Structure 1
Amino acid sequence: MSLTARDLGLFAIMGAVLAMVAMFQSPQLAITILNMSLISAIMALGVNMQWGYAGLFNVGVMGFTAVGGLAVVLVAQPPVPEAWAAGGLGILLGLMLGVATILAAVLVYKRMTPGKLRGLALFAVVAVGFFITSAVFGPAKQAVQSVNPASTGYLGGANLPVILSWPVGAVFAAGVAWLVGKVSLGLRSDYLAIATLGISEIVIAVLKHERWLARGVNNVTGIDRPVPRPVELQPQPWVQSLADTMGWSVSQTASIVSGLGYSVLFVIVLGILIWLAERALNSPWGRMMRAIRDNEVSARAMGKDVTRRHLMIFVLGSAVCGLAGAMMVSMDGQLTPGSYEPLRFTFLIWV
């Protein structure tokens, strides 16, 4: 990747703006803006993989980002034993029954010949599966959500190191993208945009209303962080020494150091992703993707599986967005489903 004079000028302007914010407002605010800009850059890189490499118009970035954020809760938060005892197994059984219903419906659709009999069989499978799943899942969900709803009311997570949630967030988003891509990538670009936007709204609705999963609109707070909190840094002698040297308060210095720790992590991740993306773009695979983007008809005539390649790049780009979503939640220390808005997490990223 080569930087033009225009690129360098834009970076210089951004740096000057951040410096002015640090001087005239606060260094902490400037670092927060920098960190959010780095996360947004990672999201934009995922969108660029889809649109720039393959011409896929995905406006469901918000949904994949939220799925990545959910991964942080499921990986890093401690489990709630009372909730698991109240209805954890019932929820798992209900989810398994739901998946079994879907698989049975797909099997009926594929194995039976088209006609009224297939339609009736599909209706019967879906109806029976729905009622059985609801009978198992509904009471279990209510039992879990009734366990100390003021502070928990959900199953919790695996209590693993929070840094592991970043790749898990990418995997979760990739899995959702695979499901979305299997049913929507055959659509024309404008219909694909509508479909992905609608599906992202469905994802947010699930996060808001399924409180057993991540407390819904009650939010999950106190999530562990990959960088020490400012309050944990304040007693450190080197932080106090740095505060004396810079003429800052100890609390301000600890906040700045903590924020810069995130900046270093985010720059490393962004640099690795850019390097991998450039390597892929300049490889035979990248040339094939550009050929598919420029002329699908010719690519199909040359024997390329366009649908499969579109699905591949859709999954990869969404995984990057999920990674960014996990990074953002781990930095904030909380998951707030109500804060996910298309303007911020989709259209601003496209801009």
Structure 2
Amino acid sequence: MALLIIIVGFLQSWGVALSIVNLCLISAVMTMGVNIQWGYSGLINFGVMGFLAIGGLAAIVVSVPPVNEAWDAGGFGIILSGLILFLLITSIFYVHQKFRSKYKNYFLFCLVISVIPIMKLVAGPSISSIESIDAATSGFLGGFDLPIILSWFVGAVLAGMIAFIIGKVCLGLRSDYLAIATLLISGIVVSAVKHEEWLTRGVKNVTGLKRPAPYEVNLQNSDWFISFIEFLFKGRLSKIYNLDEKIIALNELVITSSGIFVKLCFSLIFSIVLITILVFSERALRSPWGRMMRAIRDNEDAAKAMGKNVVKRHLHIFIIGSAIIGFSGAMLVTYDGLFTPASYQPLRYTFIIWVMVLLGGTGNNYGAILGAFVVWFIWIESAPFALFLIEILMSQTDDTNQLKIHLIDSIPYFRYLVMGLGLLLVMRYRPKGLLPEKIIKN
């Protein structure tokens, strides 16, 4: 993989190569969360997209400055509605645990149906007031104006809390029903993120987010960075004798290098995160807890016979994996610098992540990381590679050739063809993945 990244750096640009590396690192964190759920305990979570959206939402709530006019217009109604929702959820859990009546479910249904209109009545006018304030550039409450790295941990906590609620409802289901339930719930989460403009601006997006790395413009105006680039490229600059040409060349090098430097900063931060999660995951895998989870995965009935609370352990692992996914969702929004709810699609943010895990090796953390790098590299580079092949194979044909035009127009779909062929080949010849799970002998 390192060789392929270097080749991309030379043939395309180092900015593209480092962008691929950073997105591979973020995808690797996503696959770690899915691998903990599926590889450790056999839980099928097709709701990855929803937990990523929750992590992205946390980046907004934590880092964006508050819109004071919006809070003055409708903040009280939103807070009151949130308290009603909290009391509703608390009441549901209390009734579910304390009462054993056969009419319990009917009571809970009536409770939810009666409270939702009250919430709508309380929050409706406030939402309208908030969304009407400078709708073109604002129209939402904003956040707490805190460092954006803090949002990564908040995203993990929020995703874990949502996973707890989902797990209490769905983890008693059979695995195939659990997969369907998590997929549908993630769709509900993404739909809420898209349409609750008072919270996320909806499809109008939130741009200009903070970042834990310096901005390119600031670097380009920093004396230390200009001096560093001048020292780094002094051999190239020494061959230019005209002072004006040397200044122009130095400015171009500073502009190009600033983007590379920022991406390297992100690479360092993301690598630290990935290595930290990997170390803790490996230690957990080899601990008595990890052996218990694999025993539950391999034979639930035997684990139950030995006195293990399977549903409770499944809930724990579901929360942990979802929290890691939420953490990676906040990382992704931080790297992009914007939050686009409409971009959350099941293909990209659920099934591609699952392909990474299956191709890399279920139950093996290193396999999940390798799968993330391989699949994302193919996903990004299959289109340029397809264009390169078309240009070579049809170099003798005219540019007006209908077949050539059709193939060039179909280049975006080559990634699906390559991804499908790659998955079929791996499933045929390496059904346990590129790096299968290792049998740990104690």
Aligned to 1:6: none
Distance in 1 (alpha carbons) for counterparts of 2:268 and 2:309: 40
Correspondence for 1:93 among 61, 72, 80: 80
Distance in 2 (alpha carbons) for counterparts of 1:122 and 1:323: 33
Deviation at 1:342, TM superposition (A): 1.2
Write the mapping of 1:55-134 to structure 2, written as runs, cut at 5 A.
55-105=42-92, 107=94, 111=99, 113-115=101-103, 121-122=107-108, 124-134=110-120
Indicate how the Cα distance of structure 1 residues 262 and 146 shifts in structure 2: closer, same or farther if over 3 A, else same.
same
Taking structure 1 as the reference length, the TM-score comes to 0.92
Write the mapping of 1:200-239 to structure 2, written as runs, cut at 5 A.
200-239=186-225
Distance in 2 (alpha carbons) for counterparts of 1:119 and 1:64: 28
Distance in 2 (alpha carbons) for counterparts of 1:112 and 1:137: 33
Identity rate, percent = 51
Indicate how the Cα distance of structure 1 residues 112 and 134 shifts in structure 2: closer, same or farther if over 3 A, else same.
farther
Aligned to 1:335: 339
Aligned to 2:436: none
SS in 2 for 1:158: coil
Report if the CA contact (8 A) 1:108-1:121 is conserved: no
Correspondence for 1:283 among 263, 281, 287: 287
Q: What do the CA deviations read for 1:47-103 (whole angstroms, capped 9, x no partner)?
A: 000011000011111111111111111111110100000001101101222332344
Deviation at 1:328, TM superposition (A): 0.9
Q: What do the CA deviations read for 1:224-243 (whole angstroms, capped 9, x no partner)?
A: 10001111111223322343
Distance in 2 (alpha carbons) for counterparts of 1:120 and 1:342: 34
Aligned to 1:151: 137
Distance in 1 (alpha carbons) for counterparts of 2:265 and 2:58: 22
Decide which structure has the larger Cα Rg and report it: 2
Distance in 1 (alpha carbons) for counterparts of 2:113 and 2:319: 31
SS in 2 for 1:227: coil
Write the mapping of 1:136-215 to structure 2, written as runs, cut at 5 A.
136-215=122-201
Runs of at least 4 residues off by over 6 Å? none
Distance in 2 (alpha carbons) for counterparts of 1:183 and 1:121: 17
Distance in 1 (alpha carbons) for counterparts of 2:350 and 2:225: 38
Aligned to 2:298: 294
Correspondence for 1:240 among 226, 231, 238: 226
Deviation at 1:25, TM superposition (A): 1.2
RMSD (Å), alpha carbons? 1.6
Distance in 1 (alpha carbons) for counterparts of 2:160 and 2:94: 24
SS in 1 for 2:181: helix
Residue 13 of structure 2 aligns with an amino acid whose one-letter code is S
Q: What do the CA deviations read for 1:232-287 (whole angstroms, capped 9, x no partner)?
A: 11122332234333466211100000000000000001001000000001011111
Aligned to 1:54: 41
Deviates most, 132-141 or 103-112 = 103-112
Aligned to 2:4: 17
Aligned positions, number: 336
Deviation at 1:131, TM superposition (A): 2.3
Distance in 1 (alpha carbons) for counterparts of 2:205 and 2:60: 10
Aligned to 1:8: none
Q: Looking at both structures, which has the greater relative contact order when contacts are Cα pairs under 8 Å and sequence separation is at least 6?
A: 1
Unpaired runs of 5+ residues, structure 2, are 237-251, 356-442
Distance in 1 (alpha carbons) for counterparts of 2:100 and 2:316: 30
Deviation at 1:104, TM superposition (A): 3.8
Residue 38 of structure 2 aligns with an amino acid whose one-letter code is W
Distance in 1 (alpha carbons) for counterparts of 2:217 and 2:211: 13
Residue 39 of structure 2 aligns with an amino acid whose one-letter code is G
Aligned to 1:5: none
**Matching of residue 266 in structure 1 with residue 252 in structure 2:** no
